[in-house]
């Protein structure tokens, strides 16, 4: 398949790839030197921007308060998770993205790493 062309069998993924390519160009990222972590963070920023745009069109801040919490779920890529002795950890991680609340039209950012457990 030709890069950047819409795939009717995977429309959401092909649109996301096109949007990531545009955002990477806008952020002046070198497409030849982008690693998996950078692509993942680029996707999080792109998806968060989309979410905030949709919220701006759907939420009347004079009538509703809301919160936004985004992040990336990172899966364990261990070769064998069926270890009967329990020595291979099955771990999932979350990399925090954006966290804020909007109350009475005022946005307040939340530092989730400093919120007590």
Question: pLDDT tens digits, residue range 70-109?
Answer: 998 887 766 666 667 766 666 778 888 999 999 999 999 9
Tell me the pTM: 0.75
Cα separation, 39 vs 74, in Å, equals 13
CB-CB contact of 73 with 47 (8 Å) = no
Coil, helix or strand for 67? strand
What is the distance between the alpha carbons of residues 34 and 40, in angstroms, rounded to a whole number? Answer: 10
Taking only the tens place, the pLDDT of each residue in 31-47 is 889 998 899 899 999 99
Take residue 31 and report the two structure tokens written for it.
């497409």
CA-CA-CA-CA dihedral for 34, 21, 6, 46, to nearest 10: 100
């Amino acid at each position: 398949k030709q890069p950047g062309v819409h795939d009717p069998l995977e429309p959401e993924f092909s649109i996301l790839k096109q949007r990531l390519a545009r955002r990477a160009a806008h952020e002046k990222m070198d497409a030849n030197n982008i690693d998996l972590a950078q692509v993942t963070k680029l996707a999080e920023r792109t998806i968060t921007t989309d979410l905030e745009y949709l919220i701006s069109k759907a939420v009347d801040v004079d009538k509703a308060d809301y919160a936004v919490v985004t992040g990336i779920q990172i899966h364990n890529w261990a070769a064998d998770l069926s270890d009967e002795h329990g020595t291979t950890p099955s771990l999932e991680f979350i990399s925090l993205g954006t966290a804020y609340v909007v109350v009475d039209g005022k946005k307040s950012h939340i530092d989730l790493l400093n919120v007590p457990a």
